[in-house]
Amino acid sequence: MRQRWILVVPVAVLVTALLAGVATWTQAGRLERDLTARAQAALFEAGLPTGDVRFDGRDATLSGFAPGQALRALEIVQNVDGVRAAKVNGDVTPVAPSPTTTPSTPSPPPSTPQTTTAPPPTDKAGVQAEIDRMLAESPIAFEPDTAKLTPEGEQAARSIAIALVKAPASFRFRVTGHVAQGPGGESAALKLSRDRARAVVRILTANGLAAKRVTYRGLGDTRPATEGEEDRRVEVTVV
């Protein structure tokens, strides 16, 4: 009789574990189907029904979108409630706007010097100076007390992404988030600054910057602004 109980107990444990695994797998499948349906519905409402969206848990992978639609599709899926992260298969390069057609004008005489655009800097100091200039002109701004970028802040982050992509491939970058002192205390400030830095990194990688070239961190309210800076700010540093 005792030997029979010894055999029954392991079988009962195995059955319980198997049932728990089936329940977990079923719940995960239901979550992925629900997220897929809501993401596809959002894309359809935005006029982007041609691509494909697949989920691994809460993480989405987009494929099959035209180059001019991929970034818009990525933004839509990222904003679907419940989605943790999203990416587009393959490299994504922002599509340059079509040049405006202008009436033809006579060519200048050969002796007239032509104005050319200066090439992007290739040294660390030059790249950092360009980043600082761009952030001073168009700061990366967020909605108050959130990690959601304003439309102007999102456009500023995309412009920074283009500059970083043009930098030498050996360069690496760090995004640092800062916030002002608030009622939530140090832990809340640290979390908000980290979330904001991560949101900027998502914009950078979605616009062509390889994920391995950029890291992020949040310093909360531990480094108040100096003259000419804001407490609520995001810094991009060449490392």
Tell me, what's the pLDDT at 106?
64
Which of the four CATH numbers 3.30.1330.60, 3.40.47.10, 3.40.50.720, 1.10.10.10 does domain 120-239 have?
A: 3.30.1330.60
Tell me, what's the pLDDT at 211?
94
Tell me, what's the pLDDT at 98?
46
Name the pairing type of β-strands 233-238 and 173-178: antiparallel
| Parts of the chain with a pLDDT under 50 | 5, 15, 21-23, 25, 93, 95-98
The DSSP-derived string for 103-165 is ---PPPPTTSPPP-PPPPP-SHHHHHHHHHHHHHHS---B-TTSSPBPHHHHHHHHHHHHHHH
Instruction: Look at domain 18-95 and name its CATH class.
Output: alpha beta
Tell me, what's the pLDDT at 238?
94
Chain Cα centroid distance, residue 132: 20
pLDDT tens sequence across 27-61: 768 889 998 888 888 888 888 776 788 899 889 89
Tell me, what's the pLDDT at 25?
46
Domain extents for the chain?
18-95, 120-239
Rounded to 10 deg, the angle between the 2-45 and 67-78 helix axes is 120
Tell me, what's the pLDDT at 222?
85
